[in-house]
Structure 1
Amino acid sequence: MRNSEVNSVVLYNAEDEKSIIDNIFITGVAMNYGMRALDVIESMTYAMNAIRSAVSGGAGTSVMVTLNTDASPTVAGSYTYVSDMLSSLNGNNVASEMNGWAHLTSEYVTKYNPSYIVILDSGTYSSGDYGRMLANLSPEWKNTDAYKNGNIYLLCEDIGELSQRASPRSVQFFEILARILNPDSFPGGIVVPKTIGNDYVSYLTYTKDLGFGD
């Protein structure tokens, strides 16, 4: 692209918090907004450290984070920003033996038997579709502790799209994930529902005002 006189910047693969922050700084400098990028990074880091402190000492729980509700779903394995977030939030990624965003065969859903399942949906469902979604799950999904104990969470609409983008707003997804896995660690009476959509800001405190242009 540079040989063709097209300005271009190579960014890191968003495997963890550090690579997201590095990409923000690189992009900011490339666009002559280096100081603004540093301000954004400082706000993100402060909020994420505060959330980590709030949930510190909590008991670990097994989690599967998926991009769809297929019988054989696409899940977050190791070397993804989602897996990195889980490690900071008392979550044990059941797909950690896989690398990147991996295709999980249906029998492994039952084998891994996650206590929590978080679905990052970018357009299949809306906020009113939770019941329909549950009814359409495969037998393998319905045989997990997450299903039996009512711990399947659907992030759709705005938060579903936001959660799939490694960007400054990932910090808001980080707080939502923290509240799902550690409901007793946050005062203020906010109860995270099983479905979160365009109203996701209503369930934030630490990162509520960090829309970064939203």
Structure 2
Amino acid sequence: MPETLSFFQKFFFSFLLTILLSGCGETTEKTLSDSAQKVEANKITVTDDLGRKLEIPAQPKRVMALSAAMTEMLFAVVPDSLIVARTQVCNFPEAALKKPVVNSYPLDLEGLLVLKPEIIFTEDGITSMETAAKIEQLGIPVYFQKYEKVTDIFRGLNDIGKIMRRETEAQKLTDSLQTELNAIENEVKTQELKRALVVINTDPIYVYGRNTLMTDKLEKAGGQNALQENFPQQSPQLTREYVLQLNPGFIFGISQVQNEAFFRLYPELKKVDAYKNKRIFNLNDDLAARPSPRVVESVREIRNYLQK
């Protein structure tokens, strides 16, 4: 009898152990599956303006930009506490000056490793694809934006708002900017268009081309780009003869362009209407060159000069 009981006891305990182990396996498998789903849920896939698909945190907590314009955009939409750094050329808003500096050129990869941003924003033409690839090798996604029209900047702000879970704040900002822009356009829509040439460099002469954001800003300010021909380059080089042929009514200079030096260098250009009518002005470099939330301020500056 004891031997019989021993046999059944062995069989029972063996059967019970099999059930328990099977249950543990299911529990372990389910736990791992839930964990994987949780990790996946903390990531989202987005497509930037260059058509690049990126996997980013669902709610980033540490971000920065490699473009001065996009640093302005981040500070306009995102709490300061989430912005970990700025580049050496970022000088607005004032709060940006309090952030650590990560050089964008040459790129400070060590600085990025120390600050560990979860996503980096930049704009097409500012950061090369080679540089972006080096950053992404560190496990940091690089999100590009591209702007051809003023409204592209508004869209860019709203895209940042979606990525950073600040949709309401971004939409409120862009609605306000659009209202200001509409007021300027309504003010100038009945006025005669004024032809302007925007000079970026004097020796040789480089100007903003037709296919640029500057052209759209000129049009919204009540003017038009005196350069109507489409060049492959966004900032083509022009000869003095070509500028004479264009005969712009206004000439705007930015950055290092100095009006007096320009006409000393090319005295024959004193024949253009802009010089004869004293309609030569220097634009604020940051406003003119940056596709930032201050774009309406830039349009307003151009509008004010075109009315003189």
Q: TM-score, normalised by structure 2?
A: 0.51
Q: 1:203 matched to which residue of 2?
A: none
Residues 221 and 300 in structure 2, CA contact (< 8 A), matched pair in contact too: no
Residue segments in structure 1 that go unaligned for 5+ positions in a row: 184-214
| RMSD (Å), alpha carbons | 2.2
What is the SS of the residue equivalent to 2:228? coil
Match of 1:57 in 2: 190
| Counterparts of 2:144 and 2:156, CA distance in 1 | 9
Aligned-partner SS, 1:163? helix
Following the alignment from structure 1 to structure 2, what is the Cα–Cα distance between the partners of residues 64 and 162?
16
Structure 2 Cα separation of the partners of residues 173 and 49 of structure 1: 14
Q: State yes or no: 1:80 paired with 2:212.
A: yes
Instruction: State the secondary structure of the residue aligned to 2:236.
Output: strand
Match of 1:174 in 2: 299
- Contact kept in structure 1, 2:248 and 2:273, CA below 8 Å: yes
| 1:145, distance to aligned residue in structure 2 (A) | 1.0
The correspondence of residues 32-47 of structure 1 with structure 2, limited to 5 A, is 32-47=165-180
- Give the whole-Å Cα distance in 2 for the aligned partners of 1:166 and 1:73: 23
Deviations 1:118-177 (A, max 9, x none): 1122xx37xxx76x446534124322110111010012xxx2222110111111010011
Structure 2: distance between partners of 1:88 and 1:81: 11
| Deviation digits for residues 182-204 of structure 1 (CA, Å, limit 9, x no counterpart) | 34xxxxxxxxxxxxxxxxxxxxx
Runs of 4+ in 1 over 6 A off after TM superposition: none
Measured in 1, the distance between the counterparts of 2:160 and 2:237 equals 31
Query: Are the structure 2 counterparts of residues 170 and 137 from structure 1 closer, same or farther at C-alpha, using a change threshold of 3 Å?
Result: farther
CA distance in 2, matches of 1:107, 1:172: 33
TM-score of the pair, normalised by structure 1: 0.71
Quote how far apart the aligned CAs of 1:22 are.
1.7
Residue 138 (structure 1) aligned with residue 272 (structure 2): no
Matches within 5 A, 1:16-35: 16-35=149-168
Kindly indicate whether residue 276 of structure 2 is the aligned counterpart of residue 148 of structure 1. yes
Residue-pair matches, total: 172
Alpha-carbon distance in structure 2 between the residues aligned to 1:102 and 1:26: 31
CA contact (8 A) 2:210 2:228 kept: yes
Question: 1:202 is matched with which residue?
Answer: none
Partner of 2:253: 119
In our comparison, the structure showing a higher alpha carbon Rg is: 2
- Supply the AA of the counterpart residue of 1:80: T
Query: Are the counterparts in 2 of residues 71 and 140 from structure 1 also a CA contact under 8 Å?
Result: no
- Does the alignment pair 1:94 with 2:226? yes
Give the direction of change, closer, same or farther, for the CA distance of 1:10–1:61 in structure 2 (3 Å limit).
same
Give the whole-Å Cα distance in 2 for the aligned partners of 1:134 and 1:11: 34
Cα distance change of structure 1 residues 162 and 90 upon mapping to structure 2, 3 Å threshold: closer
Query: What percent identity do the matched residue pairs reach?
Result: 27
Tell me, yes or no, if the aligned pair for 1:71 and 1:141 is still in contact at 8 Å.
no
Task: Summarize deviations over 1:48-80 as a string: whole Å, max 9, x none.
Answer: 100111112101221101213x15422112221
User: Is residue 55–residue 182 contact of structure 1 (8 Å, CA) maintained in 2?
Assistant: no
Q: Which structure ranks higher in relative contact order (CA pairs < 8 Å, sequence separation ≥ 6)?
A: 1
Secondary structure at the aligned position of 1:147 is classed as helix
| Greater share of residues in helix | 2
Q: Can you give the 5+ residue segments of structure 2 that lack an aligned partner in the other structure?
A: 1-132
